[in-house]
Every structure is written in C-alpha cells, then in structure tokens.
Amino acid sequence: MSREKTPPEAEVVASASQTGSAEARTGGTALSGTVIGSSFSSQTIGHQSNHWYSVFARQEKRASGWGGITAVVLLVTVVVLYMRPEGPEGQFVVAYVLLAVANVVSVLLAFDAWTRAGEARSVRLRLGSAGGLPAGARLLLSLLCLILAALAVLQMDQVRKHGRVEVDASEIDVKPDKLLEDGEQSVLTLRPKAERRHLELTMEVSASRNNGVCGYGTRFSLAVGKQAPRKQHEELRSGDLVKLDLGSGRPEIELRLTVNTTDDCEVDIHVAQATVYG
C-alpha cells in the first residue's frame, strides 16, 4: 500500500506552524517571568517602605509624647508664677528650684525624643536598636518631672496661704499720732494684705530735740488688743525684734504700746519693719 507524499508546500507550512508555537510558548514564559519578577520587586519595595514608615510613625509618636512632658512642665511653671504672692523672695526659693530642675529634665527628655525622631527620618534607625535613653529611664524621668512640678505647686500654695507678707507703712495707723511721754499709750492698727497667725515687727524710738539720752533710755511694752503686756514683750528697746502670737488670722491687728521713759522726755515710737506669717 503506497503512502501519499506530502506536498513540499504543506511541509513548509507545518514547520512554520510548529516553530511559531514554540516561539509563542517561549515568549509567554519570558513574559510571565517578567511580570512575576516585577510583582516581587514591588512587594519588596512596598514592604520596606511600610517598615520604615512604621518606624518613623512610632518615633514621631514617641517624640510628641515625651515632648508633651515639656509642655506640661512649662504650663505648670506659668501657673506657679501666677500664684506667686507678695513677700520676701527667700520664701520662693524652694518652689523655684523645683521648677528649675523639672524644666531642665523635661528639656533633656524633649531633646532625646527629637534626636530619636531625627534618626527615624534619616532611616538610620533599625527596629530593636533605638538609641538615646532607655524606655525605663525616660519613664522615670518623666515621672520625676511631674512630681517636681506638683511639689512646686504645693510649695507655692503653702507660701500663698502661710508665707511671710510685709506690712507697708501705709497699712499702719497710729493713734494718737504724737510724741509720747512716760506712761502714755498709743494704739497701732495694722491692716496687712493677708491674714496670718503671727506678727514680727521692729520698732524704733526717736527723741525730741535730738536728745540721745532719752532715746537710749526709753523702754516700751507691747500687747495684742486689750491684753495686759506680757513679760516677754516688756522692756523693749529701739531696734528689738518682737514676735507676737495673734492666735488666728485677722484682717486688722491692734497693738497697744506703753512708753516707759524719764519724766522730761518726749519720744516718737514708730514701726520700722513688720511682717505677718504662719
């Protein structure tokens, strides 16, 4: 049985068809590999971007959180300065020192947070290898700042309620306002800006006609209100520091002064310095 011969044209067509199919398969494989490679590269880049973005976000959040301590301390500083009453500067030293330490520590924390955030922005920070202060140290320092700020508020409030307040000359009335002779009395009324339980004052004696003997030899006694002069408040001289227990705070303080001098002397006794406290 004889086989039919394939025409040459048919063989050429078949060969071309097989070659085209092979090239198509090869081209499809290359195209698929390119697409898969591009997809893998995109996923890798996206993963790295998300990684550094998360690091940056954490550092930004951390920086803003620790920077908030500085803002709180500054706010407390403003409040404490606003609470500051009148009086000698020495009684505010403790509150000022507490505020100063709290502000210095809070600034150091803010600088540390800023440094850490800067490391995140420059993509030099790796997870688990954060520089700067350890988290525990930052927490303790932040608590220290808040405690110091709270103590400063309490200290200033204590001074505001019980601190020393000077009494101005304009807040003192003397009746009768004249030179006093031996045995005469005068009433001093003090109206301080704040009510306190104790009074500390110094009185000066000046004699008429510049008589130094009268001034040096004059004694006086002080009593609160209508009380009889106590022994510790008797025989006072010019320039002596007198401390009086007022019992309770009062808007007006009345003192009774009794002069003890020679018969031929007239003296002026006035308040040189007065402070209420406690």
Quick one: pLDDT at residue 9?
46
Q: Where are the domains of the chain?
A: 45-162, 165-277
| 165 in Cβ contact with 86 (< 8 Å) | yes
Q: Which fold has domain 165-277?
A: Jelly Rolls (2.60.120)
Task: Give mean pLDDT, residues 36-44.
Answer: 49
Residues 6+ apart with CB under 8 A from 262: 182, 213, 214, 217
pLDDT 10s digits, 196-223: 999 999 999 987 765 566 777 889 999 8
Residue with tokens 């071309």: 16
- Which pair of structure tokens corresponds to residue 271? 């308040």
- Conformation bin of residue 186: beta by default, left when phi > 0, alpha when psi is -120 to 50: beta
Residues 6+ apart with CB under 8 A from 224: 199, 244, 245, 246, 247, 253, 254, 255, 256
pLDDT 10s digits, 132-151: 678 888 889 999 999 999 99
Cis link prior to 176 (omega < 30° from 0)? Answer: yes
Mean pLDDT for the chain overall: 77
Residue 200 is inside which H or E element, if any?
Answer: strand 198-207
> In whole angstroms, what is the distance from residue 63 CA to residue 53 CA?
15
pLDDT 10s digits, 216-270: 788 999 988 865 545 457 889 999 999 998 888 788 999 999 999 887 888 999 9
Quote the DSSP letter at residue 238.
T
Cite the DSSP H helix spans in the chain. Answer: 8-83, 93-121, 135-162, 212-217
Residue with tokens 């550094």: 52
Quick one: pLDDT at residue 27?
47
Task: Give mean pLDDT, residues 162-169.
Answer: 93
